[in-house]
Amino acid sequence: DVKVTQSSRYLVKRTGEKVFLECVQDMDHENMFWYRQDPGLGLRLIYFSYDVKMKEKGDIPEGYSVSREKKERFSLILESASTNQTSMYLCASSSEGGGRGNGNSPLHFGNGTRLTVT
Amino acid sequence: GNSVTQMEGPVTLSEEAFLTINCTYTATGYPSLFWYVQYPGEGLQLLLKATKADDKGSNKGFEATYRKETTSFHLEKGSVQVSDSAVYFCALDNAGNMLTFGGGTRLMVKP
C-alpha cells in the first residue's frame, strides 16, 4: 500500500513564525499536492508538483511556498504564519505523470497536520 | 469553471438505515467523478469512481451513478453501519485538471 506520511499531527505556532510542513511518500509517485481542509469549504489546493524541483500554484497559493528537492518529499512553507492559516493541511500523491489525480490514478492522502496559529 | 455541491451535514442515521448523500456538479466537457471518504483521524481515501455517463461506481456496499442529464453523482448505501461514520467528499476531475472537491458531508450512524 502507498504510504503518505506527514511529519506532524498537531502544530501550534505563533503569528509571524516561519512554519515547515513535511510530507514523504514511499511509492515513487510523480505528483504531490498540498491541500487545506476547512469546514464547509472542502479541500482547496494550495500547490502541487509533478516532478522534482517543479511546482505550480493551486487555487489558494497566497502566503505559502513549497519545495520539492527529492521525488519522495514535498514541503509546504508558511513564510510568516497568520491566524487565518489555522487549518488542517493534507498532503497527497498520485502516480500518473502529468495526470493530476484523475480517474486513472487516485490521490493517496496523508493523515493531515492540524496547524493552529495563535 | 468547475464546481461541486454537496448536501450539508451532518447526516444522522440509525444503523441499517438507507443512505443518500446528494452531489451535483458544474463542469464543461465530460469529467470523471469520485467519492472520497475520510474516517476520523485519517486522510481521505478513494471510495468509488465513475469516468463516463451512466457508469456506476461501487465499493463496500456504496454506489453512485454518473447522471449527465442531471449533472449528479449521488452516493447511496442500502444499510449503513456504525463503522460508516465519516466525512464523505464528492469530487470531479475535468480533462486532467486538478480535482475539485465538494464541501464534504459528515455522516453519523448511531447503533
pLDDT at B10: 94
Residue in the structure block whose three cell numbers are 493534507? A90
Alpha-carbon distance A3 to A16, whole Å?
A: 32
pLDDT for A38 beyond 60: yes
Closest partner residue to B46 (CB to CB) among A106, A110, A112 is A106
Closest partner residue to B32 (CB to CB) among A58, A98, A102 is A102
pLDDT for B101 beyond 60: yes
Question: For residues B42 and A64, which has the higher predicted lDDT (pLDDT)?
Answer: A64
The x, y and z cell numbers of residue A19, run together, are 512554519
CA distance A20 to chain B (A): 19
Q: Quote the percentage of chain A above a pLDDT of 70.
A: 90
Contacts of A100 in chain B (CB under 8 A): 93, 96-99
The 10s digit of each residue's pLDDT in B22-81 is: 999 998 878 889 999 999 988 899 999 998 899 999 999 999 999 999 999 999 999 999
- Lowest-pLDDT range of A103-117, B11-25, B41-55: A103-117
DSSP 8-class letter at A83: G
Say yes or no: A98 contacts chain B, CB-CB below 8 A. yes
CB distance B93–A112 less than 8 Å?
no
Contacts of A49 in chain B (CB under 8 A): none
- Lowest-pLDDT range of A14-18, A57-61, B93-97: B93-97
Helix (H, G, I), strand (E, B) or coil at A94: strand
Return the closest-CA partner of residue B57 out of B73, B71, B37, B44: B73
